């Protein structure tokens, strides 16, 4: 199936966003995220309702990790929507505060004006989240 140029651009935007989590710098992600971002880390969790709130809640935690890698297993764009299946690896420093965590999730991203406007992650059915 052929995708439109905008669908290809949207998928590339999300793939680059996922790749750049490895920088462990919330500020570096601003190029991908709308200022009025709506983000939900998992069903039932409170919404993050701006890029500024995202940085305030995630920035220090991200920079305190040893490494972050988002492994994209599959990805698909339909118009302004990008869906992906990922395993997110958040690796704590040895002897640091808290364990490493690995989440098998499905993410959906709504792209508006070349930025991620809405982003929600969902645990994959039957997936076991590994902490430790």
CA nearest 131: which of 90, 87, 93, 73?
Answer: 90
Q: Give the pLDDT score at 57.
A: 94
**Over residues 15-25, mean pLDDT:** 98
Q: Give the pLDDT score at 63.
A: 93
Collapsing DSSP to helix, strand or coil, 83 comes out as strand
**Over residues 50-64, mean pLDDT:** 95
Q: What is the number of structural domains in the chain?
A: 1
pLDDT band at 61 (very low <50, low <70, confident <90, very high): very high
pLDDT band at 64 (very low <50, low <70, confident <90, very high): very high
Cα–Cα dist 111/119, whole Å: 9
Q: Which CATH number characterizes residue 125's domain? A: 3.10.450.50
Q: Give the pLDDT score at 129.
A: 66
Q: Scan for tokens 């299946």, then name that residue.
A: 85
pLDDT band at 15 (very low <50, low <70, confident <90, very high): very high
Q: Give the pLDDT score at 132.
A: 58
Q: Give the pLDDT score at 131.
A: 65
Could you tell me the residue range of the domain that residue 10 belongs to? 5-131
Q: Give me the half-sphere count of Cα atoms (radius 13 Å) on the Cβ side of residue 41.
A: 9
Q: Hey, what are 12's tokens?
A: 């590339």
Element containing residue 12 per DSSP (H, E): helix 5-20
Cα–Cα dist 41/83, whole Å: 15
Q: Is the dihedral of CA 38, 114, 19, 79 positive or negative?
A: positive
Cα–Cα dist 68/88, whole Å: 8
C-alpha torsion 44→57→105→76, nearest 10:
110
Are 82 and 74 in contact by the 8 Å Cβ rule? The answer is: no
pLDDT digits (tens, 9 = 90+) for 89-130: 999 998 777 789 999 999 999 999 999 999 999 998 776 666
């Amino acid at each position: 199936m052929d995708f439109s140029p905008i669908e290809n651009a949207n998928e590339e935007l999300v793939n680059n966003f996922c790749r750049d989590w490895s920088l462990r710098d919330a500020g570096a992600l601003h190029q991908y995220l709308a200022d009025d971002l709506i983000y939900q880390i998992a069903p039932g969790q409170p919404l993050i309702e701006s890029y500024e709130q995202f940085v305030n809640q995630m920035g220090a935690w991200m920079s305190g990790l040893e490494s972050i890698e988002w492994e994209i297993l599959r990805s698909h764009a339909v118009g302004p929507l990008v869906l992906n299946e990922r395993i997110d690896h958040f690796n704590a420093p040895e002897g640091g505060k808290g364990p490493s965590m690995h989440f098998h999730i499905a993410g959906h991203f709504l792209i508006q004006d070349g930025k991620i406007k809405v982003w929600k992650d969902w645990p994959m059915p039957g997936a076991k989240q590994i902490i430790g």
